Amino acid sequence: MGAVRKTRIIIPCFNEAARMDLKAFLCALEKELNLFFLFINDGSTDKTEQLLASLKEMNPVQVEVITLERNSGKAEAVRRGIHESLDGPFEYLGYWDADLATPLAEIEGFCRLLDSADVDMVIGSRVRLLGRKVERKALRHYSGRIFATCASILLGISIYDTQCGAKIFRNSATLRQVFGKPFKVNWTFDVEMFARFSMVLKTPPRETSLRWVEVPLSEWVDVKGSKVSFKDYIKGGIEFCRLLYYLRSPARRGYEKLLNS
């Protein structure tokens, strides 16, 4: 990993003890001294807390751990992590899935794009292209395509993959507002997050997204033990309807007022 600006990556964790690759995290930190991880232990009931404590002990400078007493869901875990990091010395903030389905090596490329003055957000995208190792189960792939299409229509922008768990942002006052209030949804909070940028900046979605870059990942693999189940797809559909209410009905006005208060 090449040199990057000071970057903190939020890693939400819920019962990840059997899937976390501590060696991969430590190796990434050893190669890049400007990289930092903030692990949010989201009310885990397995040995995740002990595992994270040992990781922090091995690298107390670049690793921080916050433990939430109750499971709050990925959306709130990520929000808490970003909010906790905004006042720190970090130029870039992001979040990454704990199972490292997206390898940490991708962080360097994301940060290189952010070094451009015209980019505020870099989004990982699981695109099946020749020469890239993107392996997804058929159900997840095709359901993801349907969801992404619906999300693009809802948001009013062209985006291939809203749900990839690898995103990095430029630290800014706008980011503070976007992550300032709890999200209305959990499993699909990424879609709500995209919409919030437009609401906070008071610019049309297409104009807002001109400063975002979607990057086809070199590698992404479904990691054994994924917690995504058929029930989650049902929840995703229900959450989408909830977002439709807040983004495309008169309720949007009140929601925008809340975000900007």
Q: What is the pTM of this model?
A: 0.94
| In a domain? residue 187 | yes
- pLDDT(1) > 60: no
- Which range marks the domain in which residue 65 is found? 7-259
- pLDDT tens-digit profile of 55-80? 999 999 999 999 999 999 999 999 99
* CATH code, 13: 3.90.550.10
| In a domain? residue 2 | no
- pLDDT tens-digit profile of 25-44? 999 999 999 999 999 999 99
| In a domain? residue 77 | yes
Cα separation, 188 vs 195, whole angstroms: 12
Number of domains in the chain: 1
10, 95 Cβ separation under 8 angstroms: yes
Residues 193-206 have a mean pLDDT of: 97
Cα separation, 168 vs 182, whole angstroms: 19
| In a domain? residue 1 | no
65: which 2 tokens?
A: 């751990």
| Cα dihedral sign, 245-251-257-261 | negative
Burial of 27 (0-12, 13-18, 19+ CB in 10 A): middle
- pLDDT at residue 33 in the model: 95
- pLDDT at residue 3 in the model: 57
- pLDDT(158) > 70: yes
